[in-house]
Structure 1
Amino acid sequence: MTSEAIRHCVALRFGTGSAHGEQAMIEAGSSSKRGAGRLRAEFLALFVLAPLVMAILVPPRQMFSVLFGMTAVGLVLLHRTAAFRWRDLFAGRDRIDWAWIWLIGLLVMLFGAALLWLVRPEALFALVRRQPELMIMILLLYPLLSALPQELLFRALYFRRYQSILPRQRWAALLLNAAIFSLAHLMYWSWVVLFMTFVGGLAFAWAYEMRRSFPMAFLLHAVAGDVLFLVGLGVFFYSGNVVRPF
């Protein structure tokens, strides 16, 4: 719609006085800019500044307390997002592609086994061999306590609340999502973690946005995470092993 058409519509809405119409347009534009500015500030604070603070300033033992607080803030923002309903998360159950889920799990297994065999052979299937009870607990709890909250923040919140400020090209929005998901794991200071979370974030974002299925994104994340710990890659995701390069 052209600017002339917009002015005409406003004039019809607010009467014949052009001054009233122009004033209404100015106020509407200012309100829209303030809203976009607030969303950008939220986005930067939650997805950029918070991960950087955790990676650089927060002691490793306190990382998960800060991460819990960040998650709580994100869930409150999601709840307050206009037009969002928690039942929306169940949409897309009929679009789950199980072949893709098992393929991702297999790829994580193969990549993890090959990498650990080269750089950390002692960690290969370490939990299965040494602490099978802990491994079973991780398999049961990881999907609900880790994968689900992360998907709510990095997929549902990202694409629903901040849709208006995301890149217009869908591929660019997916790449940005993968980048901030990887940045959220900078606190481990590991290229392995950054690489895996970028690729994983891209897959999870594709499932959520392109297939319109939060359930599939969650299942992809849950299976990939469980396999990651099963094969032994959890050694890179343990805060006790964090060594900052400064």
Structure 2
Amino acid sequence: MGQGRLWLRVEFAALYLLAPVTMALVLPPRALFPMLFLLTGVGLVLLHRTPGFSWASLLRGRVRWGQLALFTLGTALLAWAVLRWMAPGQAFFLLHYQPELLAMIWALYPVLSALPQEIVFRPLFFRRYGVILPGGPAIMVLNAAVFSLAHLMYWNAVVALMTFAGGLVFAHAYHRQQSFPQAVLLHSLAGNVLFTVGLGIFFYSGNVARPF
């Protein structure tokens, strides 16, 4: 194994495995988001230094509006079903009681959360570390798995399953459809729909309860 590939494996393990596990097991909930922003910054630097990468490439790619509409509807129906089963009292809570906060989430989530996450988990993952990862469908499953692992800090099975499923969709948009804008829009809509329906309660760091 060349020294370059060995270093890439170290980077990958630190960024996508060690960091999320450390956040989930060690850091207090109030430190989770500062740590996430720090890791995002590190990821941006690594991507900028990746040979052959161009920031302009992130602007390329077709936006599939029909896919966005179907995905939004499917996400809303799934979120509603899960919420009715697990926390029916939270249904449309923000929409009813804190519409200003919900409007702020719709405005800021795509820029402050979905976009940074997509940069780290899609272009950085595939462009910088693709040479050390398996090919074919396996690389997208692995991408969804590490994306789900990044949400371990919430200690919630619903979050783990939904982020894995979402990760598969976002990875397909970026890796198969070659469209970073589509991946960002899908991620943005998923997050905003979850908060609108009420499932955002599971993605709130104030509700984190470690099982130990």
Structure 2 length as normaliser, TM-score?
A: 0.98
Cα distance, 1:189 vs structure 2: 0.2
Does residue 96 (structure 1) correspond to residue 63 (structure 2)? The answer is: yes
Cα distance, 1:97 vs structure 2: 1.3
- Mapped to 2, the partners of 1:41 and 1:86 lie a distance apart of 24
Cα distance, 1:107 vs structure 2: 1.1
Does residue 46 (structure 1) correspond to residue 46 (structure 2)? The answer is: no
Write out aligned runs for 1:62-81 (5 A).
62-81=31-50
User: Mind listing any 5+ residue stretches in structure 2 that lack a counterpart?
Assistant: none
Question: Deviation digits for residues 9-58 of structure 1, max 9, x if unmatched?
Answer: xxxxxxxxxxxxxxxxxxxxxxx710000000000000000000000000
Higher relative contact order (CA 8 A, sep 6+): 2
Give me the CA root mean square deviation.
0.8
Does residue 171 (structure 1) correspond to residue 140 (structure 2)? The answer is: no
Cα distance, 1:96 vs structure 2: 1.8
Question: Which residue of the partner structure matches residue 200 of structure 2?
Answer: 234
Cα distance, 1:116 vs structure 2: 1.0
Question: Which residue of the partner structure matches residue 177 of structure 2?
Answer: 211
Write out aligned runs for 1:17-36 (5 A).
33-36=2-5
Q: How many residues align?
A: 212
Residue 62 of structure 1 aligns with an amino acid whose one-letter code is: A
Question: Deviation digits for residues 122-170 of structure 1, max 9, x if unmatched?
Answer: 11000000000000000011000000000000001001111101102x2
Residue 117 of structure 1 aligns with an amino acid whose one-letter code is: R
Write out aligned runs for 1:132-147 (5 A).
132-147=99-114
Considering only CA atoms, is the larger Rg found in Structure 1 or Structure 2? Answer: 1
- Mapped to 1, the partners of 2:152 and 2:7 lie a distance apart of 25
Question: Which residue of the partner structure matches residue 113 of structure 1?
Answer: 80
Cα distance, 1:108 vs structure 2: 1.1
- Mapped to 2, the partners of 1:118 and 1:202 lie a distance apart of 24
Residue 210 of structure 2 aligns with an amino acid whose one-letter code is: R
Residue 239 of structure 1 aligns with an amino acid whose one-letter code is: S
SS in 2 for 1:162: helix
Cα distance, 1:89 vs structure 2: 0.3
User: Mind listing any 5+ residue stretches in structure 1 that lack a counterpart?
Assistant: 1-31
Percent sequence identity is 57
- Mapped to 2, the partners of 1:192 and 1:222 lie a distance apart of 18
Question: Deviation digits for residues 183-241 of structure 1, max 9, x if unmatched?
Answer: 00000000000000000000000000000010111111011111011101110000110
Question: Deviation digits for residues 70-129 of structure 1, max 9, x if unmatched?
Answer: 11100100011111111010111xx22111111111111101111111211111000000
Question: Which residue of the partner structure matches residue 92 of structure 2?
Answer: 125
Q: Which runs of 4+ in 1 moved over 2 A?
A: none
Does residue 86 (structure 1) correspond to residue 60 (structure 2)? The answer is: no
- Mapped to 2, the partners of 1:226 and 1:191 lie a distance apart of 20
- Mapped to 1, the partners of 2:83 and 2:191 lie a distance apart of 16
SS in 1 for 2:209: coil
- Mapped to 2, the partners of 1:104 and 1:67 lie a distance apart of 26
